[in-house]
Amino acid sequence: MVKVDRRIIRTREAIKKAFLELMSEKNFDRITIQDIADRANINRATVYLHYLDKFDLLDKIIEEHIKNMSNICESEAELDWIESTVHCMEYLERNYLFFSTMLASEGAPYFRSRFLQFNIEEFKKDVDITKGKNLGQNADVVAQFVANAYVGVVEWWLKNGMPHPPREMAEKVGELLARIL
């Protein structure tokens, strides 16, 4: 594994933070690379050393968070719904700026679609239509239903300033998921 210089890591983090702050303030279409560079307190050329353009930056940030969410799901496959959801909600809380900007402000419709698709794929792994409460159901319909409900609850939670702590929210969502899956 190649070790990345800490200065590169700090620069990328500054660029991502600046970009997300700008997205929370104004429409994506109105953000320029110069805006990002100014906010990150770096040269415009430095942004281009790390990203092709603002679309590449957005894609890389989205994929980073989807990958992190996937890693959480994989590492917690053995946990029950509530404990697994606690870790997801804590991740959402730690990355509030990103998720609130992407979901709550409708700053990036592509992200909502990508986040929903990720959740559909994850929930499909847990849908069992051969027995129990989902006997005879269509697995795709169940996964769509659950994923849309989950993403909707996450949006509500973020838009309302996370009115419940992550553990409490996870318990509420985990109990609901256990009823369906």
pLDDT, residue 1, reads 66
Contacts of 65 (CB under 8 A, 6+ apart): 95, 98, 99
Q: Taking the domain 1-51, which CATH number applies?
A: 1.10.10.60
The pTM of the full predicted model, rounded to 2 decimals, is 0.84
CA distance 32 to 47: 11
pLDDT, residue 102, reads 87
Is residue 101 a contact partner of residue 24, using CB atoms and an 8 Å limit? yes
pLDDT, residue 130, reads 86
SS3 letters for 63-128?
A: HHHHHHHHHHHHHCCCCCHHHHHHHHHHHHHHCHHHHHHHHHCCCCHHHHHHHHHHHHHHHHCCCC
1-51 against 62-180: fold identical: no
Considering the chain, what is the average pLDDT of its residues? 89
Residue 177: both structure tokens together: 């998921």
CATH architecture assignment, domain 62-180: Orthogonal Bundle (1.10)
The segments of the chain whose pLDDT lies below 70 read 1, 76-77, 104-108
Give domain limits for the chain: 1-51, 62-180
pLDDT, residue 104, reads 65
pLDDT, residue 178, reads 83
pLDDT, residue 106, reads 58
Q: Hey, is 53 helix, strand or coil?
A: coil
